[in-house]
Structure 1
């Protein structure tokens, strides 16, 4: 079964920008586009809008929001197949369930108002932390226009344990090949806390050793990357979050793996994935890693 690219829409301009981005992605991959509207997203705003138009609130929400998103997708990529669905559930539960049968889930970064901005931000983090497929959150552009290939590179964050980034490596390599752009793989490393740079006995050789080990880990992680893909390997002494945020300024897409962890409130993202979702300067793809 061919899997679709799923987009969560809520009627806001950022969600329509997500439709643009996902339509381009569907065209690249030859995939269908599925637009999903969770009606409880508009539980508060829909009632006042319906009153103004003299129509039932659910009809206003479903017809206007879904139809607008579908027209936008066809205008962006006329050749793709588009389906829509309206589901009377909370958006986070809808999108996590949709992720079981999706190639990827795409979301806008913000909602219509200050209240929905906070809600949609939490929804994005929750979906990325529980999804069964890659989740792409559209960050980095606030003029409501999707851009394809503006900077000409895909950035991949690689963990120090090569096996911990396998799914993210595959996804990033596939994206770079589809877009015909280089893949920049970044692995951040740090020497142990007791090896301070100011002590004469630990300057030089220890740092060189850690950098060498980082280079070896990066090479191992990229071992199965296709030979025809242009790859730029970079190791940097820094916190992983800071290194990836810096790299995101020159990227069309930042890809990170996320090993979902059990916590007091269910599965949760690690610090790096959580940090880039909130602060990256480009769209972020969070790819779940299998144990």
Structure 2
């Protein structure tokens, strides 16, 4: 049984964009799509049943949101198999549970209004840091989200997480039939080491995807600025991230935090367990 792409649905503009992006991703990959909404409506004080029903109004709203998202997917990608779930629980808890049986977890970067945007931004960061599957945060302008640049970029780091992220980036480039660029930032006398590291990572993965020809790109400068600059002309940026088993908790670097906040294209964070 193929694991699905799971999308967090909350009705915000960012969530709608995430649904659209995930529908396209499911269509090109051939994977099923699962639409998930989570809300703590059962814990809200004073929640009343909706008119003509004994169900809470927040539950009715959740059902309408998910139904609308499902209809949207059916229009955009009619051949994609879709399932849905509505959970009366904390969104982070639900999404992390869904991530145990997901090929990819897809999230929008923001929610409704200033306060909700902060809260849902925190949800996205928490899930990206702790999920056991790759997480995509759908950022950027419409050209980047619609994959007009035909370019996937993967950041090559120093640790084992780079190999898994690069493998994922190869798969994305094959699905999209587009260019794959392996980017490594370097400083001063470190260029040879940077080249050696890129060659090492590509050699591990390259044989698995013979139809994808990667292009190494070495850039002198800070890692954060290098990666953010790359996102302007990319459809997707893929980064590796370390994961630590409980009780040690999540680990995302400052660079990864910055990219998730400011990238001009969707970002995928791919976990590698310590």
Q: When the two structures are superposed, what TM-score results if normalisation uses the length of structure 2?
A: 0.90
Aligned partner (choices 275, 281, 286) of residue 258 of structure 2: 275
Name the residue aligned to 2:26.
26
Residue 197 (structure 2) aligns with = 217
Correspondences of 1:163-174 after superposition (within 5 Å): 163-174=160-171
Please provide the CA RMSD for this pair.
2.6
C-alpha displacement at 1:179, in angstroms?
Answer: 0.5
Structure 1, 32-41 or 180-189: larger mean CA deviation: 32-41
Are the structure 2 counterparts of residues 43 and 234 from structure 1 closer, same or farther at C-alpha, using a change threshold of 3 Å? farther
Give secondary structure in 1 for the equivalent of 2:122: helix
Report whether the alignment pairs 1:151 with 2:149.
yes
Alignment of 1:289 onto 2:269: no
Q: After TM superposition, give the deviation of residue 55 of structure 1 in Å.
A: 7.5
Corresponding residue number in structure 1 for 2:158? 160
Contact 2:151 / 2:236 at 8 angstroms: preserved in 1?
A: yes
- Cα 1:99–1:247 change in 2 (3 A) is same
Shift of 1:29: 1.3
| Per-residue Cα deviation, 1:238-278 (whole angstroms, up to 9, x for no partner) | 22111100000010000000013589983131122111101
Aligned residues: 269
Structure 2 match to 1:8:
8
Q: 8 Å contact 2:163–2:201 — kept in the other structure? A: yes
Q: Distance in 2 between matches of 1:168 and 1:42?
A: 39
Q: Give the Å deviation of 1:159.
A: 0.4
- Aligned counterpart for 2:182 among listed residues 170, 181, 185: 185
Q: Which aligned segments of 4 or more residues in structure 1 are displaced greater than 4 angstroms?
A: 41-44, 46-51, 261-265
Q: Is the 8 A contact 1:160 1:187 kept in 2?
A: no
**1:255 partnered with 2:271:** no
Cα distance between partner residues in 1 of 2:158 and 2:104: 25
Distance in 2, Cα, partners of 1:121 & 1:58: 21
Cα distance between partner residues in 1 of 2:197 and 2:156: 9
Deviation, 1:49, is: 11
1:130-164 deviation per Cα after TM superposition (whole angstroms, max 9, x unaligned): 001110001112x7x98432111000000034x33
Larger Rg: 1
Preserved CA contact (<8 Å) 1:186 1:236: yes
